[in-house]
Amino acid sequence: MRSWGLCLLSDLQYHYGKFIDNLRLFTRGGSGGMGFPRLGGEGGKGGDVWVVAHQKMTLKQLKEKYPQKRFVAGEGANSRVSALKGCKGKDCEIPAPVGISVTDENGKIIGELNKEQDRILVAEGGLGGKFLTNFLPLKGQRRIIHLDLKLIADVGLVGFPNAGKSSLLSKISHAKPAVADYAFTTLQPELGKIMYKDFKQILVADLPGLIEGAHENKGMGHKFLKHVERTKQLLFVVDISGFQLSSRTPYRTAFETVLLLTKELELYNEELQGKPALLAVNKMDLPDSQNKFHELMNQLQNPKDFLHLFQDKMTPKRTMEFEHIIPISAITGEGIDELKNCIRKSLDEHADQENDAFHKKQLLNLQISNTVSHSEPLSRNAVN
């Protein structure tokens, strides 16, 4: 049994290895061109290196297309009698997928690519030779950068293995993820679109499986949790009958599962708890599921009455407040339409709130601008 488990783990790691979500690259801006001291000519500036977002690009394709992972921009042209101002060197563009965070070697964020054709300058070209540099050119900036893929989706599915996330995704969208009846976990992000009758589309991501200790990078911990950061809304999916990964791990009830999922998010990044969240209680087609659901609702509505029963390491500082709790069955289709409606309602409400906040901020800035412009003449008169 043990050897089968090791083989399965090895097989999962091999398959997951095919999915690339981060890449380390060498970049260098072009050197500037030589100046022309006798005539005061300036050399051209070296080319810059940019990371540019492309909708159909993946990090895997980028690695295969540029196996050396080295990007150098062109050198600036030298100043000469026929062209005292040297031409700028050719820029170098690195095609990258949308949803990329670009960081330097120290982990400092340089920028993010959130939509098609977004551009980030990662290595600047050197100045051409001029009077200030004694007509000697400067070298371009050298930089090691990391491209880190963090999926952008409207909804991110959060749940332990075998909660039924893949089955749910296939039920609410046209995605065809792998589904199994053993403790199986998604090995790479699966994306699906919920299509509504009025042609509204909502993107849902089933992310690599979460396990206890994910915040410590156990299992696929950080690979999972970093993708959660870039979703607008969380959809917790729990098995009403509870969860047990193996005979060597403890059994967890549905309520304990919710607590542990919340705790993992909290330990990784407390800000994740501020995201809008819904809870889908799955496998309601199982025997005695109704009684267990009533018990779960009582625990969720009165968490303080039950938290003292669990170890401190299991209990989050604050419990998740779910906007909607929907009992479903990904097998029979029970509650699926209601879930889709709740997802849309929640996203629309928060979009309206963000728009209101944006307009209020614009109005406030306009009022401040008007106040400053009217007060300036008065302040001048007062000085005079």
Q: How big is the chain by its Cα radius of gyration, in Å?
A: 27
Chain centroid to Cα 208, Å, comes to: 13
What confidence score (pLDDT) does residue 14 get?
33
Q: In angstroms, rounded to a whole number, what is the distance separating the alpha carbons of residues 150 and 114?
A: 10
Do 52 and 94 meet the contact criterion of CB atoms below 8 Å apart?
yes
Domain residue ranges in the chain:
22-149, 153-349
> pLDDT digit of tens for each residue in the chain (384 aa)?
333 333 333 333 333 345 678 899 999 999 999 999 999 999 999 999 999 999 889 898 999 999 999 999 999 999 999 999 999 999 999 999 988 999 999 989 999 998 899 999 999 999 999 999 999 999 999 999 999 988 778 999 988 877 888 889 989 987 665 554 433 444 567 788 999 999 899 999 887 656 555 445 444 445 667 778 888 999 999 999 998 876 777 888 999 999 988 988 888 888 888 899 999 999 999 999 999 999 999 999 999 888 888 888 788 888 999 999 999 999 999 999 999 999 999 999 988 888 888 788 888 888 887 776 555 554 444 343
CB half-sphere exposure, 62, CA atoms < 13 A: 30
Q: Where do runs of H (alpha helix) occur along the chain?
A: 2-17, 59-65, 165-172, 221-228, 254-268, 289-301, 336-383
Question: What does the H/E/C string look like for 60-105?
Answer: HHHHHHCCCCEEECCCCCCCECCECECCCCCCEEEEEECCEEEEEC
CATH superfamily of 153-349: P-loop containing nucleotide triphosphate hydrolases (3.40.50.300)
Do 141 and 224 meet the contact criterion of CB atoms below 8 Å apart?
no
Length of the chain: 384
Same-fold call for 22-149 versus 153-349: no
314 CB-near residues (< 8 Å, 6+ apart): 256, 259, 260, 263
Per DSSP, the three-state class of 190 is strand
Q: Which CATH number fits domain 22-149: 2.70.210.12, 1.10.3720.10, 3.40.50.720, 2.60.120.10?
A: 2.70.210.12
Q: In angstroms, rounded to a whole number, what is the distance separating the alpha carbons of residues 221 and 29?
A: 36
Can you state the angle between helices 336-383 and 165-172, rounded to 10 degrees?
A: 80
Burial-class residue 165 by CB neighbours within 10 Å (0-12, 13-18, 19+). buried
Which two tokens mark 174? 């046209």
Q: In angstroms, rounded to a whole number, what is the distance separating the alpha carbons of residues 113 and 59?
A: 13
Is the CA virtual torsion 217, 223, 229, 234 positive or negative?
A: negative
- Measuring CA to CA, which residue among 59, 230, 221, 63 is closest to residue 150? 230
Do 77 and 43 meet the contact criterion of CB atoms below 8 Å apart?
yes
For Cα atoms 8, 13, 15, give the angle at the middle one, nearest 5 degrees: 95
Q: In angstroms, rounded to a whole number, what is the distance separating the alpha carbons of residues 343 and 340?
A: 5
Give the pTM: 0.70
- Measuring CA to CA, which residue among 9, 338, 152, 159 is closest to residue 167? 159
- Measuring CA to CA, which residue among 127, 116, 97 is closest to residue 35? 127
What confidence score (pLDDT) does residue 224 get?
64
- Residue 120's DSSP bridge partners are 51
Q: In angstroms, rounded to a whole number, what is the distance separating the alpha carbons of residues 150 and 97?
A: 10
- Measuring CA to CA, which residue among 133, 158, 356 is closest to residue 268? 158
Which two tokens mark 98? 């949308």
Quickly tell me which residue has 């994910």 as its tokens: 214
357 CB-near residues (< 8 Å, 6+ apart): none
What DSSP state is assigned to residue 243? B
Do 133 and 127 meet the contact criterion of CB atoms below 8 Å apart?
yes
Residue 276 sits at φ, ψ, to 5 deg, of -60, 135
